[in-house]
Structure formats: C-alpha cells, structure tokens
Structure 1
C-alpha cells in the first residue's frame, strides 16, 4: 500500500537509485513462480535497505524472514568483506530459488541460511548483531524483539517492516485480527522501551528504525 499521492510516489521512485539487474530478475521470477509476490521488499524499499546498510556498515546482520532473498541481497550490498548475514525462513520450498540468486550475486559466502522456526533458531545464535531486519509473521514481532534485543551491539539498528499494515493500525480493530493487535502493541513497545530510540518511517507499508542504546 502506498500512503503518498501516486504522482509524488512515482516522483520519489524515479529520483531514487535504480535496483541492480539481478534484483529485477529475482522480482520477475518471484512473480512468475511464488505465492504472495507482494511480500517482496520491492525496488524502492530495497534501495532504502541498501543505503541504510551502507551507512551502518554492519559486520553481522540477522534477517528474520528471507522469502525469496530480495532484501537479503539488498543488505549484502552494504556488508564489509568480513561481514555476514544470517537469514531465517520457515518455508523450505523457497531455498532453491534463494540459492540461485545468492550464487549469482557474488555474496554467497557471506550468507548463511536457516530453515525453520525463528523463535527456536534465534536463541542458538552466538553472534552479536549490528543490524536486524524483522519481516516475518506479524503475530510474533514482539517475541522476535525480545529474543534479539540482548543480542544487539550498542548502537545497533533494528528495522521492522510492515508496521503500518496497510493502514489497519489506525482503523477500527477487528477483535479477531491478531496481526494488527500485535503490531499495535509492537509499535507502542519500540516507541517506549528505554533500550531503544525509534522513528517510524512511512515508507511503503511502514518501516521502523530502532537504535539500540
């Protein structure tokens, strides 16, 4: 969902860096072969993720929610040569497609994939992270935050996607809508938790930037 007027949104996109060809190819194949292709970060948000990573210059990145690997490759653009990304997704059927583009990208050796339940996998990770991207099932956002906050280096950044949830966060709440209920609580949590300072950016479906103090 776009929250800006269409002409302004188009202008923003047209005056931002163009995505690399490999990401155009991945987008095309995702739309051709994978369910729910709207889950892709997309060209504009991908450029935001890329430039933020280049600014942060993280050594260790954790991505919760790989999907077809688009955002993984955007983050990889900002990795130093000794940096690495750990990315987790529960859908094993996507691993072949992810690997196809990871191999083509030149970042293969810097990417470690886990397939399974992130809530079970994260506690087993020994690394401290400079950048974490939360973009998986919305009902577990608070659980993910609580699992990763003590694994962050001071000054580390937590990015949280889809925090505007197509505008549902300001609409009348359906009592059966667990995802929106959790996102409302999550947005409140990261805004008030004394361990982080947070700004919510109205980029596409909402991207929260939380800096660990």
Structure 2
C-alpha cells in the first residue's frame, strides 16, 4: 500500500536520485513477466535502500526474501570491495531471473543465492552481519529477528519491510489475520527491545530501521 497520493509520489521520485538503468530494466521485466510485481521495492524505496547501504558501508549483508532481486542490488550499492550478500528465497522459478540481473551488475560474484526456508538456512551461514533486510513471510518476522540478532555486529542495521501492512496495523484485528497479529507484536518488540533503537518510517508499506546497540 502507498500512503501518499500519486502526484506526491511522482514528485518525490522526480526529486530523488534517478533509478539506475539496470534496475529500471529489472523493474520493467518484473512487471511484464512475474506474478505479484507490486512486491518489488521500486524506485523510491530502492533509492532509500541504496542510500542506507552507502551510509553503512557493510561488509556482510543478509536479505530474507529476494523476489526478483531489485532490493538485493540496491543493498549492494554500499558494499565493501570484498563484501558478501547472502539472499534467501523459497521460489525456485525465480533463481535464474535473479542471477541474470545479478551477473549484469558489478556485484554478481559477491551475491550468494540460497534457496529454501530462511529459518533453516540462516543458522548455517557462518557470518556476522552489518546490514539485514527482512522482507518475507510476515508470520515469521519475530522468528527471523530473534535468529539474526545474535549474528549482528554492534551498530549493525536491521531493515524490516511492510510493517504498516496496508494500514491494517491501525484497524480492528480480524480473528484469523495471523500476519497482522504478528506484525503488531513485532512492531511493539522493536520499539521496546533495549537491544536496538528503532524508527518506523512511512515509506511505501512501512519500513523500520533498527540499529543494534
């Protein structure tokens, strides 16, 4: 869900850094060929992710939820010369699509694709992370957070996407709506957890930035 009018969103994009040409191609092909293209981060959020990465200058990045790889490439923009990105997704049919664009970028050899359930894969990655992007099944956000927090470097950043969940977080909770229930608990945890400091930004469908103390 977008919380701004189309006119304001257009104005914001026009007055932000231009979408890189490779990402524009990836954006277009995702909308042409892939199911649920609105899952793609898109121009404005992509520029936010790229800017954050450049400010952080991470050596190791973890992404939970690759989709077509748009956000992956944005996160790579600030990657250190010998850095690595581990990105996890469950959709086997997207692996070759992702790799095509990864290899067309300057970071192809730095990106490690993992296929399968993140909760089973993360414990096997022997790495401490500077930057993590959580953008997968909402029911497991709490589980992902508790699993990755011990693997974060001090001062590392955890980004959590879709935390406003189309505005459902301020609507009456429906009895069978597990995703919204978990996100409500997750947002409260990030606010109250003394291990991190957090700001929730109204970017696209909500983006939380949490810094590990």
TM over 0.5: yes
Q: Any idea what SS the aligned residue of 1:105 has?
A: coil
CA distance in 1, matches of 2:95, 2:9: 33
- CA offset at residue 4 of structure 1? 2.3
CA distance in 2, matches of 1:110, 1:9: 32
CA distance in 2, matches of 1:113, 1:8: 36
| Alignment map for 1:193-204 (pairs within 5 Å) | 193-204=193-204
Q: Any idea what SS the aligned residue of 1:77 has?
A: helix
The residue aligned with 2:85 is 85
Contiguous gaps of at least 5 residues in structure 1: none
Which digits, 9 at most, give the CA deviation of each residue in 1:61-105, with x for residues without a partner?
000000000000001111111111000001111001001101111
CA distance in 2, matches of 1:6, 1:117: 36
The residue aligned with 1:59 is 59
> How many pairs were matched up?
213
The residue aligned with 1:168 is 168
- CA offset at residue 8 of structure 1? 2.6
The residue aligned with 2:183 is 183
The residue aligned with 1:110 is 110
CA distance in 1, matches of 2:5, 2:67: 28
Q: Which runs of 4+ in 1 moved over 6 A?
A: none
| Alignment map for 1:1-213 (pairs within 5 Å) | 1-213=1-213
- CA offset at residue 43 of structure 1? 0.6
Contiguous gaps of at least 5 residues in structure 2: none
TM (norm. structure 2) is 0.98
- CA offset at residue 12 of structure 1? 1.4
Cα RMSD, aligned residues only: 0.8
